[in-house]
Amino acid sequence: MSKEQIIKKCLFPAAGYGTRFLPATKAMPKEMLPVLTKPLIQYGVEEALEAGMDTMAIVTGRGKRSIEDHFDISYELEHQIKGTSKEPLLNEIRAVINECTFSYTRQIEMKGLGHAILSGETLIGNEPFAVVLADDLCDHAQGDAVLTQMVEIYKKYQCSIVAIEEIEPELTNKYGVIAGNEIEPGLFVIKDMVEKPEPKDAPSNLAIIGRYILTPDIFDIIKDTKAGKGGEIQITDALLTQAKKGMVLAYKFDGKRFDCGSVNGFVEATNYFYNKESK
Ligand code: G1P
């Protein structure tokens, strides 16, 4: 990690039930669903690692123990496959375990993404940090991964940043949607943001996807944020407050993103990575 690395921690809200994948997620966390042979959350951790972060802060809940076991050594397994042709299959996960520290806390009640992020405050402390929603799986054809791109922007502007992409206008009620002034190609100063608006109420078709860089003052703002859409504490509402007090940026990232929280997106991602790997 370079000395000038300023964002060292990445928070993974991973307490949700994954109801769209029932029955698969009845006894297994949705973050552990594999695209090919790798669980979704490992893709997210690798993206954070690539962006120079080495401390992964995971907000879990009941029934999520296998996430902790995944990012740990399995001595019995290691012993069993040592020296066999299967051993290299553990190379990637071993590298991740060697290079990062993992810490965990539990979100006791499901009160929304803002609340989940606030639950991670003790793991983050008073420093800027990234947030990855593991079911938004991102890939970059060439160049840097999404979080790496966002870290570069953070170095220049030192404020909270959300990743955005253009969506079909009829899908706005699935996302946080922003409106802003474009200050550089693809980079907007946020003027408005709304959580899951109906298409007629949406300020644009620029949707937030699950990559954020947040400055730590967001924690106090979340504490003062009232329940919003769906009766939940929304990070979108807290970020609008932060935008009004200072500046929050929205960045149209370079790359591809799959909504692996939906069966369609998950199948799409599986096909995409299968084709990519078999080339
Ligand atoms: C969350 C956020 C939303 C964002 C989305 C990205 O919603 O609340 O603003 O657009 O993630 O995936 P969720 O998909 O958890 O309902």
Judge if the beta carbon of residue 18 lies within 6 A of ligand 1: no
Say if 4 falls within a structural domain.
Answer: no
pTM of the shown model: 0.95
Question: What is the best residue among 19, 162, 172, 208 to mutate for testing ligand 1's pocket, by most ligand atoms within 8 Å of CB?
Answer: 208
With a 6 Å cutoff on the Cβ, whether 175 touches ligand 1 is: yes
Domain that holds residue 59: 9-278
Q: DSSP string of 158-220?
A: -SEEEEEEE--GGGGGGSEEEEEEEEETTEEEEEEEEES--GGG-S-SEEEEEEEEE-TTHHH
**Quick check: CB of 113 below 6 Å from ligand 1?**
yes
Ligand 1 centroid – CA 135 distance (Å): 10
Question: Are 78 and 114 within 8 A, CB to CB?
Answer: no
Residue 132 to residues 22, 53, 138, 224, Cα–Cα distance (Å):
22, 12, 10, 23
- CA distances 244 to 48, 98, 126, 201, Å, are 28, 41, 21, 20
- Give the total residue count for the chain: 279
Whether residue 235 is contained in a domain is answered as: yes
Distances (CA, A) of 194 to 82, 198, 221, 246: 52, 10, 16, 18
* CATH number of the CATH domain containing 165: 3.90.550.10
* Domains identified in the chain, total number: 1
Asked whether residue 65 is domain-assigned, the answer is yes
Asked if 147 and 51 count as a contact pair (C-beta separation under 8 A), the reply is yes
Q: Answer yes or no: is 81 within a domain.
A: yes
CB of 123 sitting under 6 A from ligand 1: no
Give the Å distance between the CA of 152 and the centre of ligand 1: 23
Q: Among the atoms of ligand 1, which is closest to the Cα of residue 261?
A: 14
- Give the ligand 1 atom nearest the CA of 175: 10
45 lines ligand 1 (CB under 6 A): no
Quote the Cα angle for 173-174-176, to 5°: 85
Q: Identify whether 57 is part of a domain.
A: yes
In a domain, 2, yes or no: no
120 within ligand 1 shell (Cβ under 6 A):
no
Question: Residue 35 domain-assigned?
Answer: yes
Between CA 63 and CA 38 the distance in angstroms is 19
Measure 234 CA to ligand 1 centroid, in angstroms.
9
Measure the N-to-C terminal CA separation of the chain; round to a whole number of Å: 31
pLDDT per residue, tens digit, the chain (279 aa), is 444 678 999 999 999 888 999 999 999 999 999 999 999 999 999 999 999 999 999 999 988 999 999 999 988 998 999 899 998 888 889 999 999 999 999 999 889 999 999 999 999 999 999 999 999 999 987 789 999 999 999 999 999 999 999 999 999 999 999 999 999 999 999 999 999 999 999 999 999 999 999 999 999 999 999 999 999 999 999 999 999 999 999 999 999 999 999 999 999 999 999 999 887
- What's the CA gap between 166 and 60, in Å, rounded? 30
Q: Evaluate whether residue 231 is within a structural domain.
A: yes
